[in-house]
Amino acid sequence: MVIRHIKRLKNRISLIVRRIFKKKKDIKIGLYGPVNSGKTTLANRICLDWLGEELGKVSNIPHETREIQMKKVDMKVNGKSLSFNLVDTPGIATKIDFENFLRYGLKRKEAKQRAKEATRGVIEAIKWLDNMDLVLVVLDSTKNPVNQVNITILGNLDAREIPLIIVANKIDLKKSDVMRIREAFPGYDVIGISAKTGAMINELYKLILKKL
């Protein structure tokens, strides 16, 4: 118990020290969320808007992003500018069933390799949490948001006192329900967007600038 409190205090002090001495250019904005919520689609949207090129490959097969991907972005909205490193992380999951990949037509060997890489990706994503200055928690707004992965991500960000925005993605889809996310996680900034079509993306940019 005492050890945990000391550890927490140590984390808090190191966070404050990092924030004080961190140069503006070192800011890291992380994209976190469950698998297939559209993190890389959002990363690509941001990179296309500000750099003119995409960050990573997108696919319907779960765990397409299995490594941390990072790109430097210079954003300017309404006369305000911000330079940051955009960090796209693999989706967090509690299980990785390689047989699921077979259903998407992957060969056995490929599926096994993908599962192995995906497990490493989840570990990396969790480890990188401590490096973030702001996290965009990307959720699929067509799905029930009350699941353990989402709660664990939010709980860990709260415990580390890392500012966050919940991005309710896929508002272009009929089943999208942003209100359900707002009701599930009251007290957080929630914004509905479509990373695919770009709907409401400018509002997200404004919110990012407001948070940092």
Partner 1 sequence: MLRIKFLPYEKAKKEDIKGMLNDLKSGMIIVIDAKLPAEEEAKIIEETMKIVSEKFPGIELSSIEISHSKSETTLDKIKEVIIEKLSGKKRGLTIIGPAKIIRKIEKNPEELLLYT
Residues that bind partner 1 (CB under 8 A): 1, 4, 92-99, 112, 115, 119-120, 122-123, 126-127, 129, 146-148, 151-152, 154-156, 158-159
Nearest to partner 1 of 147, 202 (CB atom): 147
What are the distances in angstroms from CA 27 to CA 38, 71, 82, 210? 22, 12, 9, 14
> Please, what is the minimum distance in Å from the beta carbon of residue 96 to partner 1?
5
Nearest one of 208, 30, 35, 209 to 135, comparing CA atoms:
30
What is the nearest approach in angstroms of partner 1 to the Cβ of residue 13?
16
The nearest distance, CB 71 to partner 1, in angstroms, is 25
Least distance (Å) between residue 98 CB and partner 1? 6
- Token output for 81: 């500018």
Q: Taking the CB of residue 37, how many other CB atoms lie within 10 A of it?
A: 27
- Asked whether the beta carbons of 134 and 208 are under 8 A apart, the reply is yes
Contact 65, 121 (CB under 8 A): yes
- By beta-carbon proximity to partner 1, the closer residue of 47 and 122 is 122
Instruction: Tell me whether residue 32 or residue 84 sits nearer to partner 1 (CB atom).
Output: 32
* Inter-residue contact 122 to 17 (CB < 8 Å): no
Residue 72 region by backbone torsions, left for phi larger than 0, else alpha for psi between -120 and 50, else beta: beta
For residue 95, the minimal CB distance to partner 1 (Å) is: 3
Let me know if 112 is exposed, middle or buried by CB neighbors in 10 A (0-12, 13-18, 19+): middle
Comparing CB distances to partner 1, the nearer of 87 and 129 is 129
**Nearer to partner 1 by C-beta: 74 or 97?**
97
What's the closest the beta carbon of residue 105 comes to partner 1, in angstroms? 19
| CB-nearer residue toward partner 1: 84 or 185 | 185
Token code pair at residue 18? 């990092």
